[in-house]
Structure 1
Amino acid sequence: MESKNFMTVDEVAQELNVSKSYAYKVVRELNAEMQKLGYLTVTGRVNTNFFRKKLCYSE
C-alpha cells in the first residue's frame, strides 16, 4: 500500500466510521491546530501523519 501525505474527507470518514459531515469537522479542527503550529494546510485534506498522531494510531 502506498503511503499518502494527505487524507481526504472521504478517507477520514471511512477510517473513523463516521458521516462525511462529521469528518469535515474533524479535518477543520486538525487543520486549525496545524495552522496554530505554523503549518500550511489544504482545505478538505489533512496530513496523514498528524491525523494518525492525534488519533493515537502512532506514538
Structure 2
Amino acid sequence: MYDFLTPSDIQDILKVKPSKAYSIIRELNNEMKKDGYKVIRGKVNKKKFEERYIYNSVG
C-alpha cells in the first residue's frame, strides 16, 4: 500500500511548525527525485519518511 504524509501529519508526528514540516517534505522529495522517483508536491512517501525520521530503540 502506498501511503503519503501531509505537512499536517508531519507536524503531529514530530511536533514541528508548518514551515519545518514543508522543509522536511522538500528534502525527502528531492532525495526521491535523485533516486529516479516521481513525487507529489506537498506530500511525502510514508516509508521514506519513516526511514529517515522514525527511530526504534533496539533491545
Q: TM-score range by the shorter chain?
A: 0.7 to 0.9
| 1:1-59 matches, cutoff 5 A | 5-57=3-55
Residue by residue, what CA displacement relative to the aligned partner does 1:5-55 show, whole Å, maximum 9, x if unpaired? 100011011111000111000000000000000000001100000100111
Shift of 1:56: 3.8
Give the greater-gyration-radius structure (CA). 2
RMSD across aligned positions (CA):
1.7
Identity percentage of aligned residues: 38
**Any stretches of 5+ residues in structure 2 without a counterpart?**
none
Structure 1 runs (4+) deviating above 6 angstroms are none
Secondary structure, aligned partner of 1:38: coil
Secondary structure, aligned partner of 2:22: helix
- Count of aligned pairs: 56
